[in-house]
Structure 1
């Protein structure tokens, strides 16, 4: 499959252009949608409930909370978007699956590339906002070089595994969005793991999204990050990627008949 990786970007580019074809805003919607969500969340959690980010040393108040929320939301939406779209990945590319001979895993790689474009744009906006308020750049931003491959590995594991299962279990396209909606509140997006009560903290430790979200937020805002305990969820993601690929290879012979 490695020899065919250059084919993944044309597939990703095709879908990005198709997604925004005919739209006046174009790629700007990739920025406007999450920013609008952050504005609403910040208004509710900070403006109504007077939420403050535990452990934050800045005096930016509601803006600090909104930006920390945005940092977590970027990671969560990147993974949730891949998971939701992966359940119909083979069906949405039925012509390629049936008529073209190539490693079908490239469709999952192309999906991750599509989402990476949006994620990169959102991170650029966050970086500019932090510079504007005087909170960056900081040397801890280099931690993003470790966080992004981690996130991509998680996305690939979900994309490959759910794409394979989605051919056989069509209900997944309805189940996965429901699961990710609930998982949003069981991930450290609106709050830090340290601020969570003990019973919830146990669930956060089992959530594969928790460590990458905390690492990304620590990178942007210079917070402390426990690297030692993070090795276990990282190892779990790598094992999940290997298991997802093995499942994909096992189920692949039936794709053409099911899409």
Structure 2
């Protein structure tokens, strides 16, 4: 636990520098460069609005007293969090196998690679959230005071993703098939969460099952607080937070246990 807390503080400059380098490398050679981090979510939101508002004319049952919100806005809010998870999961598979040169450097702290992964993908999430809020203002959807709670509400998801990144990165060294599995698993998480519907609208029988999906609680919390301003389910949030911390500790323990043999396998 001590290393989990001290590592990002001790190596904060290195983490930030490598996170920025990863984002720049992702768009290297493109005409607009890192500006695509803003354009991509903007294009997604425009497409969702066109399809769900003007073609499907989809509606979402909103809490009593809340303003009417387009289905596309609510869908986009959920997909932002799924995109964050998908980015972290997909990149974690090759986090060690794709950085063999760092594995062979005795002085390099491999434990910070998941931190770099989380920060670089988190920056893109923040840009997407910014696009969402601008779109809400453009459509005269009032910004709620509960927006201030968003960093707190998303903290358990960040902790969970950090633990998942350590775990997936370590297992990816030994199980190369995990890359193929991960693509399917990410899709399963998309359709078994509440991104396309609210938890209240799901059959009561499967609501407890849906809450085992690591996206359900943060998606519901983010959507309700940022868009409807109605979040008050701190009990479920507290359970999810505690579970995320335990999962993070498990992921870090597995990573530390397997780390000494990384160089032998690679």
TM-score by length of 1: 0.91
**Aligned counterpart, 2:254:** 247
Q: Which runs of 5+ in 2 are unaligned?
A: 1-6
- Cα 1:206–1:179, aligned 2, differ >3 Å: closer, same or farther? same
Cα distance between partner residues in 2 of 1:19 and 1:51? 35
1:202 Cα deviation (Å)?
Answer: 2.7
Q: 1:106 aligns with which of 101, 109, 112?
A: 112
CA–CA distance in structure 2, aligned partners of residues 37 and 217 of structure 1: 17
Greater CA deviation, 27-36 or 123-132? Answer: 27-36
Please give the alpha-carbon distance, in whole angstroms, between the structure 2 residues aligned to 1:187 and 1:78.
Answer: 14
Change over 3 Å in CA distance of 1:132–1:48 after alignment to 2: closer
Deviations 1:151-188 (A, max 9, x none): 22121011111111111111111111111112111111
Is 1:58 paired with 2:71?
Answer: no
Helix, strand or coil at the partner of 1:206: coil
**1:223 aligns to what SS in structure 2?**
coil
- What are the equivalent positions in structure 2 for 1:47-126 lying under 5 Å apart? 47-55=54-62, 57-60=66-69, 64-126=70-132
For 1:130, the equivalent position in structure 2 comes to 136
Query: Is residue 2:36 matched to residue 1:29?
Result: yes
SS of residue in 1 equivalent to 2:104: helix
Q: Considering only aligned residues, what root-mean-square deviation do their CA atoms show, in Å?
A: 1.9
Which structure has more helix as a fraction of its residues?
1
Equivalent residues in 2 for 1:1-259 (5 A)?
A: 1=7, 2-55=9-62, 57-60=66-69, 64-221=70-227, 222-259=229-266
Q: Deviations over 1:82-134 (max 9, x none)?
A: 01110110111111111252221111100111101101111111111112222
Name structure 1 gaps, 5 residues minimum.
none
TM-score if structure 2 supplies the norm length?
0.89
